[in-house]
Amino acid sequence: MMTTRKKFVSGLLAACVTAGMAVPAWAQKVEVQFWHAMGGVLGERVDELVKKFNDSQAKYTVVAVNKGNYDEVINGTIAAYRAKKAPHMVQIYERGFMTMLLSDAIVPVQDLLTEKKHAIDWSDFIKPVAGYYTYKGKLMSMPFNSSTPILWYNKEHFAKAGFKDGPAPTWPELEKQLYAIKAKGIADCGSSLAGDYFWSLVENYSVVNDQPFGTRSKGFDGLDTEFVYNKTLVVQQVTRLKKWVDDGVMQIAGQGLNPEQLYTSGKCSTFFASTAAHGSVERNAKIAWSATYLPAEPGVTARNSTIGGATIWVLKGHKAEEYDAVAAFLSFLASPELQVWWHKATGYVPLTNKAYQLAKQEGYYAANPTREIAVLQLSRGTPTANSQGFRFGNFTQTTFALRQELEAVFANKKPPQQALDDAVRRGNDILRQFEKLHAGKY
Amino acid sequence: MPGSTDRSPLPLAGEVAERASARRVRAQGLHISSVAPHPPIALSRDGPLPLPRAGEGKATGLKRAHFRHSRLPLLLLLPQLLVLALFFFIPALRALAQAFLLADPFGNRMQFVWFDNFRALLASPEYQSSVWVTLWFTLAQNALTITVAGLLAFATDRVIRTRGLYRTVILLPYAVAPVIAGILWAFLFNPAVGPIAHALQALGIAWDPNRNGSDAFILVTLAATWKHICYDYIFLVAALLAVPPSLLEAAAVDGAGPTRRFFTVALPMIGPTVFFLLVMNFVYGFFETFAIIDAVTHGGPAGATMILVYKVYQDGFVHIDLGSSAAQSVLLMAFAIILTLLQFRYVERNVNYDV
C-alpha cells in the first residue's frame, strides 16, 4: 500500500514539474496583467486600446482582464495581493485613492516612469485631474478615465415649455422650469435621479458653489479631517431634492431599471450625470438631447466641478523587465494622439492640455459641442480650497453612510437637517478609524 | 391455578399474533388506537417478529464489532474532514481572528483592538436595525412560505386532471437563479415601468419600494418566499403522500370535512417534516436570500431591507472594512446557532416522531 502511495505521489510531482516546464515558445515577449472595471462598450474600448499598444511594439504584451465593477476590482486586487499573485496594473476608482496610497503595496507612477526614463510632461496634465491624484508633488497613479457630471436635457421639452435657451443657470430658475414642464404635461418627470447622485448633486454641488465639505482642505492637509456639509448650502439642496421627489418632478428609477433610460426614452426631461454617458446617450437616445453646465446657486460665482472616475495603479512585487513593460504601456497612454482617441471613443475628458488642443484643432468640439462642456466646466473660474477634489480615507464607506441617510430623507423617515447631521456623525466615525490605523503615515 | 384457564398468565397464541401484527403495523407508521394501550412486550420465545428495542444495537453494534482500530475510520473520514477544514474551519477561525483586528485591507498594517469591532457594532443603530430587519424578514418569509406551500400541497390531491402540470408549474421557480428572480420582481414592481406597480397605483396604492422602506420589505419578502415555496412544497407533498389513506378515510366516514381531516389527521402526522422545513426556512432566510436582496434593493432604501448577511457582504466586500465584517459574521453565526437551538428546544417539543 505504501509503495503504491509513493508511486502515486511521485507521479503527481513529476506531472506538476513537467507542466511547469512546458513553457511555450511565444513567451519571449514580456507579459503583464492589467485588471480593469470597464464592462460593455467601455470594455471593448479598453480591449482596442490594449491591442493598439500590443501592435505598436514587439517587446511587451499587455493582457487586459475585466474583473467586474469597481468594487469587485479592488477586492480582487486585495485578495490577489494577499495571495502574492497581484496583477501589475489595476484600475481603481477615485474613492479608493487613500486606501491605495497608504497600502504599502504600490509603486508611485511618476517615480516608475522617471526611473524607466520615459519623458512625460507631468505639468501638462489638466489641473483638476492632476490635483486629485498628486501626493507630495508627484502623480501616484496614472490618470485613465476621468469624467465630471454635467446637466443633460431634452431640447424639445424645454422648447415646448417656452424655454428656448434650455436649462437656466441657477437652481431656483431651473426648478421653476422643471415644474412648468411637468405642469404642462410635456414630460412625466423633470429629472431622473442618477445612481451616483451623491457625486453630482451633493459633492459636486458643494464644489461648484464653493461650499466647504470637510475640514483640513477636505483631507488634503491631514487625516484628522472632519465632514462639515451639514452646516452648508447642502442642507438646502437636499431639502430641494426631497421636494422634487415628493412632487414627482424627480423620479427615482430604482433597481431593475437604468435611470439613464428614463432620460433617453423621453420620460424625464433632464439627467444630472457623468459626461462619460456620451457613448450610451448617443447610441440609445431617440430624443433631441443636449447638455449644459451644472447650475449654481444665485449670487454665487460658479467654480469648477470636480472629477470622478479611475486611475491605473502599479503594484509592487514584480520583476524589473515587467516594470519596463508597465512603464511603456503607461507612457503610451499619456501620448496626446491616444488621449484624443480615448476621449472621442468614450466621452471621458482628455487628460492633458495637449490632447485637448489637438481635439480642438481638429474641429471636434465645433461638431460635438457637448463634448467640450466637461473640460470647460472642470477648468472654470479660479479654484478655491473648497473646489478642489476630495481626499477622505474609507471614502466608499463614508459615501455609503451619506447615501443611506439621503434615502431616509426621501423615505420621509428623517428631516434633511437630521439626516445630514447623522451622515456627518457616521462619516466622522469612519474617518477616525482610518486615522487611527494610518496615524503618521500621511 | 386450577379451573381458571381463561386467566392464563401467558398470552394465548392468538393474542400474541395480534400483538405482533399490531407492532408490524406500527412499524409501518400506523397508529391504531385499539391496540396502542398494550404495553410493549419483548417476544423472545415464540413471537414471529422480535423487533429490536430502541438503543439496543448501540452497545454491541456494528461500530465496535467491525472497527477495532481507529485508524481506518479516520482515514475514510479524511477527505471529508479536509474539505471541512479548508472551506469551513480555517475560514471560520480566520474570521474570528480578524474580528479582533483593525486592519488595512492589504494586510500590511494591523492593530489588535480587543472587542472594539463588536462594541462599535452593538452600539450602532444601523446594526441594531439590521438585526430587527433580519428577524422580521425571516419570520415573515418562513410563515408565508410554509403556509402557501402547505395550501398548495393540500390542494395537490384535489387537482385531478392536470396534476402533472400543476406540480411542474409550482416547481418552476426553483429552477430560476435567485438573481434573475430578484431582477424579475424588481422590474414587475418598479414604480416607473413595472406592470404590477402600475396596477397597484391604479388601485390608489402609492407603491414605491425605492423610497418607502416597508414597500421594499414587502417586495423582498414576497420574492424570497416565491423562490422558496417549491422547496417546502416537494417535502410537504411527499409527507402528505405518506399519510395512510385508511386514516383519512376513517375520519371521512366519521364525518370530518377535508379541512378538519387536514388539521386533525394529516398535519400531526407530517409534524416532523414541518419542523424540518421551519429550520430549513430559517437557514434560507438568514443566508440564502442574499442574491435576492442584492438584485431587488441592495439593502435599501435607508437600510429597510439590510439583512445581516447582506451587511456582512456590504461592509466586507464593498466598503472593505474587514474587521467589522468579520465581527458581524461571527455574531451572525452565533445568532443562527441560538435560533436553531431555540427551535429545537421549544418547537420540537410539540413534534411527535412516534406516529
Cβ of A413 under 8 Å from any chain B Cβ? yes
Residue A236 has pLDDT above 50, yes or no: yes
For chain A, what is the mean pLDDT? 91
For A355, the grid coordinates are 490632447
Task: Examine residue B4 and state whether it is found in any structural domain, yes or no.
Answer: no
Return the sign of the alpha-carbon dihedral for residues B65, B67, B70, B74. negative
Q: Model confidence at A354, in pLDDT bands (50, 70, 90)? A: very high
A268: nearest CA partner in chain B: B192
Cβ contacts of B111 on chain A, cutoff 8 Å: 436-437
Q: Tell me: do B211 and B231 sit in the same domain.
A: yes
Task: Write the DSSP assignment of A100-155 as a string of letters.
Answer: HHTSS-EE-HHHHHHHTT----GGGB-HHHHHHHEETTEE-SEEEEEE-EEEEEEH
Cβ contacts of B186 on chain A, cutoff 8 Å: 254-257
Q: What is the pLDDT of residues A147-156, one digit of tens each?
A: 999 999 999 9
Cβ of A404 under 8 Å from any chain B Cβ? yes
Instruction: Please report, rounded to a whole number, the percentage of residues in chain A having pLDDT higher than 90.
Output: 84
B190/A254 CB distance under 8 A: yes
CA distance B189 to B212: 13
Average pLDDT, integer, range A339-359: 93
Residue spans of the domains in chain A: they are: 29-147+308-361, 149-305+380-438
Residue from the list B108, B296, B317 with its beta carbon closest to the beta carbon of A103: B108
Q: How far is A364 from chain B (nearest CA, A)?
A: 37
B180: nearest CA partner in chain A: A256
Residue B23 has pLDDT above 50, yes or no: no
Residue B57 has pLDDT above 90, yes or no: no
- Decide: B129 and B306 in contact? Cβ < 8 Å: yes
Average pLDDT, integer, range A121-149: 93
Q: How far is A369 from chain B (nearest CA, A)?
A: 32
- Looking at residue B175, the DSSP 8-state letter turns out to be G
Number of domains present in the structure of chain B: 3
This model of the complex carries an ipTM of: 0.83
Going by C-alpha positions, the residue among A327, A333, A341, A332 that lies closest to residue A310 is: A333
In CATH, A29-147+308-361 is 3.40.50.2300? no
> Picking from A9-18, A320-329, A346-355, which range would have the lowest pLDDT averaged per residue?
A9-18
Q: Model confidence at A307, in pLDDT bands (50, 70, 90)? A: very high
Instruction: Please report, rounded to a whole number, the percentage of residues in chain B having pLDDT higher than 90.
Output: 46
B107/A396 CB distance under 8 A: no
Q: Which residue has the cell 424588481?
A: B186
Task: Examine residue B5 and state whether it is found in any structural domain, yes or no.
Answer: no
Average pLDDT, integer, range B341-348: 84
- Decide: B232 and B156 in contact? Cβ < 8 Å: no
A252/B210 CB distance under 8 A: yes
CA A422 remoteness from chain centre: 26
Q: Model confidence at A13, in pLDDT bands (50, 70, 90)? A: very low
Cβ of A400 under 8 Å from any chain B Cβ? yes
- Decide: A290 and A132 in contact? Cβ < 8 Å: no
A411/B302 CB distance under 8 A: yes
Q: Tell me: do B52 and B131 sit in the same domain.
A: no
Average pLDDT, integer, range A368-392: 92
User: Per CB distance under 8 Å, which residues of B are interface residues toward A?
Assistant: 102-109, 111, 120, 126, 183, 186-187, 190-194, 208-213, 295-298, 300-304, 314-315, 317-321
Cβ contacts of A1 on chain B, cutoff 8 Å: none
Amino acid at A122: W
Q: Tell me: do B276 and B323 sit in the same domain.
A: yes
Q: What is the pLDDT of residues A164-219, one digit of tens each?
A: 999 999 999 999 999 999 999 999 999 999 999 999 999 999 999 999 999 999 99
Q: Tell me: do B335 and B257 sit in the same domain.
A: yes
- Decide: B178 and B292 in contact? Cβ < 8 Å: yes
Residue A349 has pLDDT above 80, yes or no: yes
Q: Tell me: do B174 and B310 sit in the same domain.
A: yes
Q: What is the pLDDT of residues B138-153, one digit of tens each?
A: 999 999 999 999 999 9
Residue from the list B111, B183, B213 with its beta carbon closest to the beta carbon of A256: B183
CA distance B201 to A32: 55
* Per-residue burial over A119-149, b = 16 or more CB atoms within 10 Å of its CB, e = otherwise: ebebeebbebbbbbbbbeeebbbbbbbbbbb
Instruction: Please report, rounded to a whole number, the percentage of residues in chain B having pLDDT higher than 70.
Output: 80
Length of chain B: 355
Average pLDDT, integer, range B257-284: 90
CATH number at A149-305+380-438: 3.40.190.10
Average pLDDT, integer, range B40-52: 44
Q: What is the pLDDT of residues B294-330, one digit of tens each?
A: 999 999 899 999 999 999 999 998 899 999 999 999 9
Q: Which of B96, B112, B128 is the last residue of a domain?
A: B112
> Picking from A299-308, B59-68, B330-339, which range would have the lowest pLDDT averaged per residue?
B59-68
For A363, the grid coordinates are 474641429
Cβ of A397 under 8 Å from any chain B Cβ? yes
CA A351 remoteness from chain centre: 13
- Looking at residue B53, the DSSP 8-state letter turns out to be P
Cβ contacts of B220 on chain A, cutoff 8 Å: none
Task: Examine residue B259 and state whether it is found in any structural domain, yes or no.
Answer: yes
Q: What pLDDT score was predicted for residue B13?
A: 43
Q: Tell me: do B98 and B36 sit in the same domain.
A: no
Q: Model confidence at A280, in pLDDT bands (50, 70, 90)? A: confident
Residue A118 has pLDDT above 60, yes or no: yes
Amino acid at A388: Q
Q: What pLDDT score was predicted for residue B50?
A: 46
Cβ of A82 under 8 Å from any chain B Cβ? yes
Task: Examine residue B148 and state whether it is found in any structural domain, yes or no.
Answer: yes
In angstroms, the Cα distances linking A422 to A362, A436, B43, B91, B189 are: 50, 21, 76, 35, 30
Task: Examine residue B1 and state whether it is found in any structural domain, yes or no.
Answer: no
Residue from the list A82, A404, A433 with its beta carbon closest to the beta carbon of B302: A404
Residue from the list B103, B298, B314 with its beta carbon closest to the beta carbon of A255: B298
Cβ of A1 under 8 Å from any chain B Cβ? no
A411/B104 CB distance under 8 A: no
Where residue A319 falls (left for φ over 0; alpha for ψ -120 to 50; beta otherwise) is beta
Residue from the list A105, A254, A267 with its beta carbon closest to the beta carbon of B209: A254
| DSSP strand pairing (A106-107 vs A89-93) | unpaired
Q: What pLDDT score was predicted for residue A414?
A: 94
Which of the pair, A256 or A19, is modelled with greater confidence? A256
Chain A with chain B: Cβ pairs closer than 8 A = 111
CA distance A228 to A400: 16
Q: Which domain holds residue B24?
A: 12-62
Q: Model confidence at B64, in pLDDT bands (50, 70, 90)? A: low
CA distance A413 to A406: 10
Bridge partners (DSSP) listed for residue A272 = A151
CA distance A401 to A382: 31
Task: Examine residue B355 and state whether it is found in any structural domain, yes or no.
Answer: no
Residue B237: give its domain's CATH number.
Answer: 1.10.3720.10
Q: What is the pLDDT of residues A239-248, one digit of tens each?
A: 999 999 999 9
Q: How far is A95 from chain B (nearest CA, A)?
A: 10
Same fold: A29-147+308-361 with A149-305+380-438? yes
The torsion defined by the Cα of A105, A109, A112 and A114, in degrees rounded to 10, comes to: -150
